[in-house]
Amino acid sequence: MALFALALSAAVQAHHSTAAFDGDKSVTLTGTVSKVDWVNPHCYVHIVVDDKGQQVAWAILAGTPTLNIRNGWKYDDVKVGDRVTVVGRPSRDENSHSAILQRITLADGRTIAGPREFLTIPTQPPGEPAAP
């Protein structure tokens, strides 16, 4: 039983890893909300950003509903069609157009922080040697 609990703990830790995101980089995106997924295990805010005349869809990982509520969000604070500004840590895969939320400025001007766990992200993926 203890071995099962240890294995489950490792799986949960891996599932909630932020290693896919680059802790050395920050991206600021202003765009129009195209979709909001306010569901467990992770909320997403999907926005469309104008990038030099091209419309680019971004998926912003925004934590769990419970963490977001603790940070002052309500499920209807972000609506399709709203213009928002997101600051986040981009994916290490530059082609994925995804980021993990650090803060969002809502259409009404309020700024809400992302989950505390997302504010500090390791600067290198697990298993990679530290830079000299």
Query: Is residue 12 assigned to a domain?
Result: no
Give the CA angle between residues 19, 24, 27 to the nearest 5°.
95
Q: Give yes or no for residue 120 having a pLDDT over 60.
A: no
Residue predicted with more confidence, 4 or 93: 93
Query: Is residue 96 assigned to a domain?
Result: yes
CA dihedral 100, 23, 124, 12 (to 10 degrees): -30
Number of domains in the chain: 1
Query: Is residue 83 assigned to a domain?
Result: yes
Query: Is residue 68 assigned to a domain?
Result: yes
Query: Is residue 8 assigned to a domain?
Result: no
Residue predicted with more confidence, 67 or 108: 108
Query: Is residue 30 assigned to a domain?
Result: yes
| pTM tops 0.85 | no
What are the two backbone dihedrals, phi and then psi, of residue 66, each rounded to the nearest 5 degrees?
-60, -45
Q: The domain spanning residue 55 has which CATH number?
A: 2.40.50.140
Query: Is residue 129 assigned to a domain?
Result: no
Q: Residue 46's CB: how many other CB atoms inside 10 A?
A: 18
Residue predicted with more confidence, 59 or 130: 59
Q: Which two tokens stand for residue 54?
A: 């091209």
**How much is the pLDDT for 62?**
92
Owning domain of residue 35: 19-119
